[in-house]
Chain A
């Protein structure tokens, strides 16, 4: 049974000379948007690097509260989602319409798995009072299971670590949810028959956005969980 409708012809908008010009113009727009994304996250990364240098003990102690197993699991989930996203475009290009649709759905499912794991990580920290900035209310005496290797005397500004942690992973999480909605939109359009091997600009653009989300996690995972 085929659930994806047959493709419709795409006519480029009247202000473009050709479909190719339309495609290339859209691509420049997407890459420019990705530059703003890199620089937005870049500001947080630079802040993280500088403060880690100034207060290494804060970042070492903070990282003890993170479980690298969950971070590694999420890395594999996001890499898999990048593969299914790329394959979604590949199958549109090669005219395998059903396979393309299910790869896009698999990408959304991976995004959902990522967010569920993130939810468990966040609630675990909230229960311990590990909040960002002024909301930080961690009290070692009231926590049943402290992470191994936690020093007797905690650094005074430990909250700084969790400000970075929640800002960076939170902003990233917002991007994952946005990406899932956007992939849902292109999957729906694909099902309607909007895309064909010669016209798939929206899927390509959303794909590039999704890969940037993966790209940022590739750096977040070792920085927060491993080093």
Chain B
């Protein structure tokens, strides 16, 4: 219990430092916020342009696609806000910082997560606004099921992100440079989740459902809430509510792999 209190104290300090750093480098923050805004803005604008000319993508309208994007954006922003630091492990290993983390008397993964940087919940706030607007715009019915399951689905989606972030960082115990691998997975996630997966060939659909289950971040839940179950006979509509379980399952697997890697790790020879 005492241990938990220490961790909570550390975690509070972590956010205090993050926010103070952000306030200190205000111009920098504003530029990066503009970047985040324009990144998502241009993605949505591109979707709008295409669907303005071609009103239906396999039965999905722009309104549906806005909901699809909003759902992914919210889960992804949640992950970026709380767990993006997990992606710094390869850097820590390379510059020797990781060896210092190992000898401190707190859980290694917790320390990695709570390494201060310049994290600020700006993307999360933007994502909440976008998701709210997209929900209203797409006409999704906000009922009890929605209110109970959407927070769980978003958390589950963030866990799916975390699982792959952690998995790739763990690979760095063996191969120090994992930039290429991370880059491929990130691209797969960002570009393939933008459209309903029913437009892809069978192999890619299976990949996005079972191997790198990014389809559970937005496609399956959106299919459930938008009542589009008929469009893909692959799986029943209800799987859209399984995202939290999938997220927990994949994080558990990634954590086991992390522990395995940690036990094998012997430094890079500093």
- Do the two chains belong together in a single complex? no
Seen from chain A, the residues whose Cβ lies within 8 Å of a Cβ on chain B are: none
